[in-house]
Amino acid sequence: MPDAISDKQPDKYPVTPDGRYFVVNGRLWRTSNPHLAPDVRQELVVQLMNARRQVGAAKKADDAAAERSARAAVDEAKRALGERGPVWWTDGAPDFNRRMVGNTPYADWYAGIAQPE
């Protein structure tokens, strides 16, 4: 699954005009909360990457318990980053995370910028 959008690849994964999502293969993925302090965000990203490595190691070792634990750590980090769980915006707008962009209010915007991914 995609991570928080990287400032180094804005064209590869277009970001919605409101900055709430980026698009991968026509699907919206919620961006990290932009209001997080940079040092907090960085620590959470480090935690996320460590947890993902643990998932891989657990799968390689065929250790179901370790994999469940590692996946829980991934989920915890993603929630802390604002990519899952309650939305980080406060205007009451609904969450379209993981939905196909064509089935959301972002469809026209995306149709105007869509390029092969």
At 44-58, the pLDDT tens digits run: 999 999 999 999 999
pLDDT in tens, 11-61: 689 999 999 999 999 999 999 999 999 999 999 999 999 999 999 999 999
Looking at the fold, whether 67 and 51 belong to one and the same domain comes out as yes
Domain of 20, in residue numbers: 1-33+96-117
| Proportion of the chain above pLDDT 70, given as a percent | 87
Above 80 in pLDDT, residue 109?
A: yes
Which residue from 18, 77, 70 is spatially nearest to 46, judged by alpha carbons? 77
* DSSP secondary structure code for residue 103 in this structure: G
Q: Is residue 87 part of a domain?
A: no
For the chain, what is the domain count? Answer: 2
Looking at the fold, whether 40 and 25 belong to one and the same domain comes out as no
What's the pLDDT at 46? Answer: 98
Above 80 in pLDDT, residue 6?
A: no
